[in-house]
Amino acid sequence: MLLTGAAGFIGSHLAERLVGEGHEVVGVDAFTDYYDPDLKRANFAAIAGDGVDLVEGDLNDLDAESLVREVDVVFHLAGQPGVRASWGESFGVYLDQNVLATQRLLEACRSASTERFVYASSSSIYGDAERFPTVEDDLPAPISPYGVTKLAAEHLCRLYFRAYRLPTVSLRYFTIYGPRQRPDMAFNRFIAGALHGNSLTVYGDGEQIRDFTYVADAVSATIAAATQGQPGLVYNIAGGTQTSVREVIETIGELTGAELRVENRDPVAGDARRTGADTSRARQDLGYSPSVDLRDGLSLQVAHAQGNGD
Ligand code: NAD
Ligand code: UGA
């Protein structure tokens, strides 16, 4: 199996599970500087060992044909994440890492015997969705440049199925959290603030809602998609916990016992007011059933940040 983005937050959890299940995994990662590459090296060190090899390099430079030649399943998680950072000059990086790299990998798979190509798409493709819970066939209308690139890559996956029968499956992950969460994401920042006595920055009024998803549940869905995902389809993958940022902060306060100071800043362009998924399709086809509720997941992430978790 090939796993791109193997040293990232979600990729490192997926690699760990695949290896634990006895699969041979080739991981690819460029250790990009979106956040501290040393954190990615630590992610990978936590999982390295028998069963996982690493190819260090950029998908836009590597020989993609030889990467996919002997591989049955491709999990494509490499990309430039982050909704709020995708404006301005950085957009070129989003295009390179999310659109061009995906097209290159898909093109390479055309002439390989790829049985499934599983792509990590995003709830950000919905923007401010037309209704809740949002179903996969609702109109995608991203409100961030990042979302535009994730949707473009998702369309490419569908096109390669339509034109060449490459069995692609796209998973729209909804705000994933848990140990090793990226340092730019809300829970990581809030927990660090709580543990170190720093104030928490909230963009807007804190009433924005997310369908937060625990990383182990996203991993289960991703592995199921490799065998049970219907080629050419997209699936919502969400935790079923539609919760506001304000409520999350309250729970972190309870779990850490810390007195939290919140600083409200202006809302940031690109941020959706609310996300919330209908996951019926994933439940039916992938047997998806999220098993970690928000309080339990948050306490696992807090324990990890305190050095008591995996
Ligand atoms: P991450 O930044 O921790 O992991 C991505 C990894 O991809 C990084 O280690 C990076 O070095 C690597 N990478 C980037 N461009 C590359 C390239 N051209 N070649 C090789 N490696 C490259 O991010 P994450 O949060 O683990 O997200 C993984 C994927 O899931 C991304 O595609 C992201 O868009 C998507 N996603 C994440 C979330 C979330 O809540 N974290 C939600 C929806 C979708
Ligand atoms: C997350 C990921 O970062 C994206 O890569 C991914 O594509 C997206 O989920 C998705 O679901 O598709 P986001 O929902 O913005 O994006 O996740 P967080 O960074 O954890 O932010 C959650 C909310 O908290 C946002 O409204 C954000 O504005 C807010 N926030 C974040 C703060 O108020 N303060 C912070 O310090 C950080």
Q: What is the pLDDT of residues 149-205, one digit of tens each?
A: 999 999 999 999 999 999 999 999 999 999 999 999 999 999 999 999 999 999 999
| Residues whose CB is less than 8 angstroms from the CB of residue 51 and which lie 6 or more positions away in sequence, other chains included | 18, 19, 22, 23, 24, 25
Q: What is residue 73's predicted lDDT score, i.e. its pLDDT?
A: 98
The closest of 183, 131, 121 to 156, measured between CA atoms, is 121
Among 221-225, 263-267, 306-310, the minimum mean pLDDT is found in 306-310
Per-residue pLDDT tens over the stretch 213-260? 999 999 999 999 999 999 999 999 999 989 999 999 999 999 999 999
Would you state the structure tokens that stand for residue 174, as one six-digit string?
């909804």
Q: What is the pLDDT of residue 46?
A: 84
Q: Ligand 2 mean position to 211 CA, how many Å?
A: 11
Distance 223 CA to ligand 2 centre (A): 24
> What does the alpha-carbon distance between residue 10 and residue 89 come to, in Å, rounded to a whole number?
26
| C-alpha dihedral sign at 137, 138, 140, 144 | negative
Q: What is the CA radius of gyration of the chain?
A: 18
Q: What is the predicted pLDDT for the residue at 47? A: 81
Pocket flag, ligand 2, residue 271 (CB < 6 Å): yes
> Is 146 an active-site residue?
yes
Best mutation site among 80, 124, 125 for ligand 1, i.e. most ligand atoms within 8 A of its Cβ?
80
Give the DSSP H or E segment for 73: strand 73-76
Average pLDDT over residues 22-34: 96
Alpha helices in the chain (DSSP H): 9-20, 37-47, 64-68, 91-94, 101-110, 145-164, 186-196, 215-228, 245-256, 280-286, 294-305
Instruction: Identify the three-state secondary structure at position 180.
Output: coil
User: Can you give the pLDDT at residue 241?
Assistant: 87
pLDDT score, position 100: 98
Ligand with the closest atom to the CA of 80: 1
Q: How far is the CA of 32 from the centre of ligand 1 (A)?
A: 10
* Spacing, Cα 82 to ligand 1 middle (Å): 9
Q: Which residues line ligand 1 (CB under 6 A)?
A: 4-5, 7-11, 28-32, 34, 40, 58-60, 77-81, 97, 101, 120, 122, 150, 173, 175-176, 182
Residue 31 scores a pLDDT above 80: yes
- Please list the residues that pair with 134 across neighbouring strands: 277
Give the residue-averaged pLDDT of 254-282: 97
Whether 246 is in the pocket of ligand 2, judged by its Cβ within 6 Å, is no
Q: Mean pLDDT check: name the lowest of 33-42, 50-59, 239-248, 260-269.
A: 50-59
How crowded is residue 6: how many other Cβ atoms within 10 Å of its Cβ?
30
User: pLDDT, tens digit, for every residue of 95-134?
Assistant: 999 999 999 999 999 999 999 999 999 999 999 999 999 9
**To test the ligand 2 pocket, which listed residue (149, 185, 252) has its Cβ within 8 A of the most ligand atoms?**
185
Q: What percent of the chain has pLDDT over 70?
A: 99
The pLDDT assigned to 49 comes to: 72
CA-based nearest residue to 49, from 67, 69, 73, 22: 22
Residue 310's pLDDT band (cuts 50, 70, 90): low
Q: What are residue 210's DSSP bridge partners?
A: 243
For the Cβ of 174 lying below 6 angstroms from any atom of ligand 2, the answer is yes
| DSSP element (H, E) containing 210 | strand 209-214
- The rounded percent of the chain whose pLDDT value lies above 90 is 95
Q: 268-291 b/e with 16+ CB inside 10 Å = b?
A: eebebebbbbbbebbeebbebebe
Q: Where are the domains of the chain?
A: 2-174+215-237+277-290
Six-digit token string for 108? 């390479």
Q: Which of 34, 119, 126, 146 is catalytic?
A: 146
* CB-based burial label for 163 (10 Å; 0-12, 13-18, 19+): exposed
Residue 50 in this model has a pLDDT that exceeds 80: no
Mutate to test the pocket of ligand 1, among 103, 173, 212 (most ligand atoms within 8 A of CB): 173
| pLDDT band at residue 270 using 50, 70 and 90 as cut-offs | very high
In the reported structure, the alpha carbon of residue 255 is separated from the centroid of ligand 2 by a whole-number distance in angstroms of: 21
> What is the architecture of the domain spanning 2-174+215-237+277-290?
3-Layer(aba) Sandwich (3.40)
**pTM for the model:** 0.98
Q: What token pair was written down for 65?
A: 């044909």
Ligand nearest to the CA of 79: 1
- Return mean pLDDT, the chain: 97
